[in-house]
Chain A
């Protein structure tokens, strides 16, 4: 925990049970978590352990069935209505009838920015994700990875202080992923945003995060929280240092312990 900085997300005894046709599914149980301003928190864990569900609860897209949660000191609903966060979904979710630039501009239109401001932000964020020159293309004319980058640009253009990212780089190749990891770190450092980041990749989690939340399934819960001791400035080759590898090993151990088919 980052000392006395104000909590952006604070959850206690948080639980969520889905009522499905074949009985209740406990997607989250007893989650206690506090995320301070400016933190970069990664969520890692096996498929189905509730990472997406937790992000959706923070985003007020799902209502918890137990416990309490507050975002920026408000209920998630109030936070959503005050446009407190940007969300990158697991799939790109671009509108096929809009060009890439108009997709990125969608949230800006909704919050009612001026045309000039919109154009400026679209240009800047598309540059950030290396999609300059594709402004006039339609999503279905782009590869899956390019679509995902466009959806990241859309969230960045929205420019909220809290970024919720659900496996944003899952569909990208190693090189682009490295590049975007660097870009994201640089952006985070510069803007002091709070970022919640779901990933399946241990190196990615360790490279990016100030804190790594390891989750385990059935019921979905937080099984371990690992503080990173890495400095804030992180060149890509920090990934070969012993310190980095030690943290990665701890995350791996945490994941192993939580894996139900290991016992």
Chain B
């Protein structure tokens, strides 16, 4: 039997399909139609039901024969995603009527998707482009399944829109509100976040150098720094609005306060990170303070500084959005979230959340790319 290569996901998927067939109707209209065969109801999966079961079972069985891993992954990919697509499009217009077999089919498709990712992760391609592609494909399938499950469950079970809208509705909302979202991003990210981040991190960095140069500053500044960084943003934001007005400047001020101290503390720690022998070496060259700083201590501190930059990229976004809850002109991501919640436009809130998540990831990703380029020599980067 060496042409057979069982996997528990595929076996379980076939079993779930069989149970689903045994249970019968996929949705309430279908159950009603079966109960009264003489009346003709429209019901979902009239034609696609058999197709879905067939796809799942064939993909599961084929995947268990001894195929090249890449073919196996392809079969699983097509089977799982085509089924999921048929399932989600089929429920259209019948939201909230799904019965147990609907969820069993979803689970079976998900298991095949899982198996597909497992097969892909075990691939060890030699070519560079293939490795890069895999690094992108695997998380993409992962993310896609979060959306598929979310969409299928919210629509199949008919979860109230207010509680959790399906991702398709959020997507539609994003597409139809691009100008508004664009204006919000411009206000919150391109003004408050970027300005506050650059000024806050830059000031923290310069303060760290000053504290390094002047010992009494270090002893005085760091404890105060810890105290200020513990200030609740909820308390600081309204005060900043009073000081700097409703526009983006007050939000930038909040971001500056939030990003200053992580940078200060990390840079001070980083400046102490160079080894004794390296510093002795610089001493033997009678190197001055600034030369030692630029040639040894700052490069050695780079991993710490980038750590602060990454922490700050998240903090800045949170700070600017939350600060907008305390008064803004009628634009901005935080403003939009707080007003649309009041109007029960939950899909708009989710649209802003999605945009914020995307912007945050891009921001973080850009900083992380710079980090890889600058600290290429660090064991944590070159080892990877």
A residues with a Cβ closer than 8 A to B are 56, 59-61, 80-83, 85-87, 89, 91, 93, 95-97, 106-107, 109-111, 138, 140, 158
Contact = CB atoms under 8 A, between A and B. Distances in A.
Given A80-B286, A97-B377, A110 B295 contact: yes
B284 A80 contact: yes
Interface string B240-271: 00000000000000000000000000000000
Given A86-B284, A89-B280, A95-B295, 4 more contacts: A83-B285, A87-B280, A87-B281, A110-B295
Given A93-B278, A95-B278, A106 B284 contact: no
A61 B376 CA distance: 31
A138 B377 CA distance: 8
A91 B281 CA distance: 11
Nearest to A154: B281
Contacts of A86: 284
B277 A97 contact: no
B378 interface: yes
A96 B278 CA distance: 11
B299 A80 contact: no
B280 A95 contact: no
A87 B284 contact: yes
Chain B interface residue count: which class?
A: 20 to 34
A106 B275 CA distance: 16
Which residue, of B285, B302, B377, B379, has the highest number of chain A Cβ atoms within 10 A?
B285
B219 interface: no
B277 A93 contact: yes
Contact of A89 (B281, B377, B382): B281
A62 to B, nearest CB: 10
A83 B286 contact: yes
A177 B44 CA distance: 83
A107 B292 CA distance: 11
A77 to B, nearest CB: 10
Nearest to A87: B284
Contacts of B285: 83, 106-107, 110-111, 158
A138 B381 CA distance: 14
B296 A95 contact: yes
Interface string B277-294: 110111111110001000
A91 B283 CA distance: 16
B295 A109 contact: yes
B377 A61 contact: no
Contacts of A91: 277
Contacts of B281: 87, 89, 93
Nearest to A138: B377
Contact of B377 (A59, A60, A96, A107): A96
Contacts of A85: 284
